[in-house]
Amino acid sequence: MISNRVKDLKESATLKINAQVNALKAEGKTIYNMTAGEPDFPPPAEAKRAVMDAVEKNLSKYTPTAGIPELRKLIAENANSQHPELAKTNPWKPSEVVVSNGGKQAIFDAILALINPGDEVVFGAPYWLSYPEMVKVADGKSVVIPTLLARDYKFSAQELEHVLTPRSKLLILNSPSNPTGTIYDRTELQAIGAVLARHPQVWILSDEIYDRIDFDGKWCSFLDACPELRDRTVTVNGLSKSGAMTGWRIGWSIAPQTLTSALISLQGHSTSGISSLSQAAAVAALKLPRENFAPFLKEYLHRRSLALEVLGKSAKIKVYEPAGAFYLFLDVREVLREKQNADGFAEKVLQDIQVAVVSGVDFGAPTCIRLSFATDEETIRTACERLADYCR
Ligand code: GLU
């Protein structure tokens, strides 16, 4: 009954486990939840007020499919201030922005708009678990480049060149990365850009949703490193992580005009655009100075140190110290039982020690688990202590 396109899709493991944990909590169970990549901070007061004002003003009608003009303009302006080199010669225009239902829809639509059946989409593993599923919907073929903890979970420009073929159509970059927190620096991105210059049929989707969570100041936007690839790059961002507004579903793409027009057509026939109230909130949030984010970054840094210190008590867990985002990616292969993978391990720790983590299986890393430290200190401390004891 279900179409071939959809029948083999996996349910999103991140959303599924988070919902399971919330259901267990609603039953009164105590669970130490480190699953969802969802900041525990409230949204900015200015954004909340803007929504209330919008309700009062009856802003309840359809908005233009691509987003309200003020919001598209602000997004383009922010992008230009982030890419001063690019802005000097070829600044982003509001007409190149599409406001979408979270960064997720922007990625999904870009894949649908670019991929023909059989086209290859390249990305590194561990990867965000929705990429391969989105590629499946588009009848594309995922080409995965394995990476190693010992090499900071990054692939090199040479490794990329090795997998590119005439069928390669899209490279997905996600820096800072979900689930590993690795960051590609400017030099590494330039080396990747040099390879892409030799493969003009390949588009780039740069998923930059975690850009503000950069612990060592090494993060670089892809187009800042490779401005010459502007004509075939789509950059995705949003306010879910930086604005702590996951439920308000505010994301966007910035892309050359031809792709943007296709994305608008697609969005016009699927969601029509995002909620008018969320767009009002987004305008208010984007007017806030970037410095407003500094306290959050400091708090994430503190939480990262706490988690690393506690997990360090078990020599059997191999932890990657993330350079950005708010995830810890743990290799637990030394403590897996025979025939057990991370799915089984995640189920056991939920049952035995009430700690909820996401299995790495769907991230393309079957011996790993992901912990989100976008949660309170008490949860982080208890969950990590329990995990470290369990693994000892
Ligand atoms: N991106 C977040 C995560 O990985 C939210 C859930 C999702 O959309 O996958 O936890």
For residue 179, how far is its CA from the centre of ligand 1 (angstroms)? 9
pLDDT, residue 290, reads 87
Quick one: 222 and 350 in the same domain? Answer: no
Quick one: 235 and 222 in the same domain? Answer: yes
For residue 85, how far is its CA from the centre of ligand 1 (angstroms)? 32
Quick one: 107 and 208 in the same domain? Answer: yes
Ligand 1 pocket member 110 (CB < 6 A):
no
Quick one: 99 and 140 in the same domain? Answer: yes
Q: What is the dihedral of CA 129, 41, 304, 224, to 10 degrees?
A: 60
Quick one: 164 and 67 in the same domain? Answer: yes
Where does a domain end: 232, 264, 290? 290
Ligand 1 pocket member 15 (CB < 6 A):
yes
Atom of ligand 1 nearest to the CA of 15: 6
Which residue owns the Cα nearest ligand 1 atom 4?
37
Which residue owns the Cα nearest ligand 1 atom 5?
37
Atom of ligand 1 nearest to the CA of 36: 10
For residue 36, how far is its CA from the centre of ligand 1 (angstroms)? 6
For residue 302, how far is its CA from the centre of ligand 1 (angstroms)? 22
* Amino acid at site 305: S
Range of the domain at 53: 45-290
Ligand 1 pocket test: pick from 9, 10, 11, 14 the residue with the most ligand atoms within 8 Å of its Cβ: 14
Ligand 1 pocket member 101 (CB < 6 A):
no
Quick one: 124 and 265 in the same domain? Answer: yes
Quick one: 95 and 204 in the same domain? Answer: yes
Ligand 1 pocket member 364 (CB < 6 A):
no
Q: 152: closest CA among 116, 188, 194, 121?
A: 188
Quick one: 164 and 239 in the same domain? Answer: yes
Ligand 1 pocket member 260 (CB < 6 A):
no
Ligand 1 pocket member 178 (CB < 6 A):
yes
Torsion angles phi and psi, residue 158, rounded to 5: -65, -45
Ligand 1 pocket member 19 (CB < 6 A):
no
Quick one: 36 and 70 in the same domain? Answer: no
Quick one: 182 and 300 in the same domain? Answer: no
Q: Which two tokens stand for residue 77?
A: 């302006």
Quick one: 321 and 189 in the same domain? Answer: no
- The gap between the terminal CA atoms of the chain, to the nearest Å, is 48
Tens of pLDDT along the chain (392 residues) come to 999 889 989 888 888 888 889 889 899 999 999 998 999 999 999 999 999 999 999 999 999 999 999 999 999 999 999 888 788 888 999 999 999 999 999 999 999 999 999 999 999 999 999 999 999 999 999 999 999 999 999 999 999 999 999 999 999 999 999 999 999 999 999 999 999 999 999 999 999 999 999 999 999 999 999 999 999 999 999 999 999 999 999 999 999 999 999 999 999 999 999 999 999 999 999 999 988 999 999 999 999 999 999 999 999 999 999 999 999 999 999 999 988 899 999 999 999 999 999 999 999 999 999 999 999 999 999 999 999 999 98
Where does a domain end: 256, 290, 324? 290
Output b/e per residue, 194-228; b: 16+ Cβ within 10 A: ebbeeeeebbbbbbbbbbbbbbeeebbbbbebbbe
Q: Is the pTM of this model over 0.85?
A: yes
Quick one: 70 and 30 in the same domain? Answer: no
Residue 8 belongs to a domain with what CATH number?
Answer: 3.90.1150.10
Question: How far is it, in rounded angstroms, from Cα 281 to Cα 17?
Answer: 28
